[in-house]
């Protein structure tokens, strides 16, 4: 019953799917991505707002804890972008930790776009890692920081 409900929810939401690229290291890609207000790349990241995303992925292995890893590439530099909330498990809106291989979950990913960020284009690589730093899902999106 839960799988049927999730499948119906995904079908309804599919009209709002956001394009993404698989990560170059061959890590598993999400089953579905929805970035609020963005269907095609590049996405607009608006100063003073939060980038609100729903990432649906299937666990490739058992995991007790999950954390995000975000790498931003802009102006030829790649930097680690630490999200304020480092507990992916606390932000699962479907499913929960611990995960068993094959479990499908939906992660509510929130990324602040601070007012002081420069107006630049960027590539962002999002990963979800388990307690042993294995990547359970990874994807890339392009975007640009814009004024409201």
Which pTM was predicted? 0.86
- Cα 11 to Cα 25: distance, rounded to the nearest angstrom: 29
pLDDT digits (tens, 9 = 90+) for 36-53: 999 899 999 999 999 999
How many separate helices (H) and strands (E) can be counted in the chain?
Answer: 1, 10
Q: Cβ(59)–Cβ(105) under 8 Å?
A: yes
Between 109 and 6, the more confident residue is 109
Considering the four listed CATH numbers 2.60.40.770, 3.40.50.300, 2.70.150.10, 3.40.50.2000, the one that applies to the domain covering 18-146 is: 2.60.40.770
User: To the nearest 10°, the Cα dihedral for 77, 82, 87, 90?
Assistant: -100
Q: Cβ(143)–Cβ(95) under 8 Å?
A: no
């Amino acid at each position: 019953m839960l799988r049927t409900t999730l499948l119906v929810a995904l079908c309804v939401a599919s009209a709002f799917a956001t394009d993404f690229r698989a990560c170059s290291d061959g890590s598993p890609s999400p089953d579905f991505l929805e970035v609020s207000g963005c269907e095609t790349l590049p996405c607009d990241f608006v100063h003073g707002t939060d980038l609100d995303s729903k990432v649906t992925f299937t666990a490739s292995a058992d995991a007790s804890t999950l954390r995000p890893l975000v790498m931003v590439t802009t102006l030829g530099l790649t930097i680690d972008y630490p999200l304020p909330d480092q507990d992916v498990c606390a932000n699962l809106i479907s499913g929960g930790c611990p995960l068993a291989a094959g479990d499908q979950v939906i992660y509510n990913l929130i990324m602040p776009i601070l007012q002081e960020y420069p107006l630049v284009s960027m590539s962002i690589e999002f990963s979800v890692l388990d307690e042993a730093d294995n990547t359970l899902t990874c994807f890339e999106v392009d975007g640009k920081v814009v004024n409201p």
